[in-house]
Structures are given as C-alpha cells and as structure tokens.
Amino acid sequence: QSVLTQPPSVSGAPGQGVTISCTGSSSNVGAGYDVNWYQQLPGTAPKLLIYGNTNRPSGVPDRFSGSRSGTSATLAITGLQAEDEADYYCQSYDSSLSGHNYVFGVGTRVTVL
C-alpha cells in the first residue's frame, strides 16, 4: 500500500550525480509532513540518511542532500562512490486514513556503473 512513488532504479558512473524522486499527494508530502530518507546497504538494516526534508544526521557525508517541493521530495547524491550502491527509501506521514500511518516509498536501487 505504498502511497509514495519512487523510481525502481537509477544509476550513475563514479563521480557523477544522481537524483531520486519521491512523489506523494495532498495527504502526505503535499500536506507539509516531513520527508525522511533511509539508505539500506545490501543485507543490512536501513540507516537514516536525511531527516526533516533537508537535514543530515551526524556522520552522513554532505554528498547527500534532500529537498521538498509541493507533493514531491528529492534525494540527490553527488560524487557517486561505489559504497553508495544501495536501496534508498523515502518516508513520511499520511493522513488519509484514521489513526497514525507512517508510510514508506517503494524504494530505489542505486547502481554505480
């Protein structure tokens, strides 16, 4: 029941930049709820990458940046490195149903060529 749409995959050569979109609606991103991003390396648990749309937790390289506009959010990775090859998920809150509902995107696989 993912209400946040992400491209299945993006790829780039080392040193290049890629962007991942996260498209929601008026009941989640468009309603002003924050978007958070997570990085999941193969076989590991997700790790918080961006919180509150644009903020990086301590230790996250500044090659990663986030933005939000309207009903969409974007994760940008510059200077792509081999270690960035992972799945990336956006997450927000959705108010379309009664009660709490924290929602994730379907995930985007980043491949470093």
C-beta of 16 vs 54, nearer to another protein: 54
C-beta of 64 vs 104, nearer to another protein: 104
Residue of 13, 82, 98, 113 that binds another protein (CB under 8 A): 98
Closest distance of CB 17 from another protein, Å: 24
Q: How far is CA 50 from CA 37, 58, 67, in A?
A: 5, 10, 10
Contact call for residue 79 and another protein (CB under 8 A): no
Q: How far apart are CA 100 and CA 51, in angstroms?
A: 19
CB 77 within 8 A of CB 64: yes
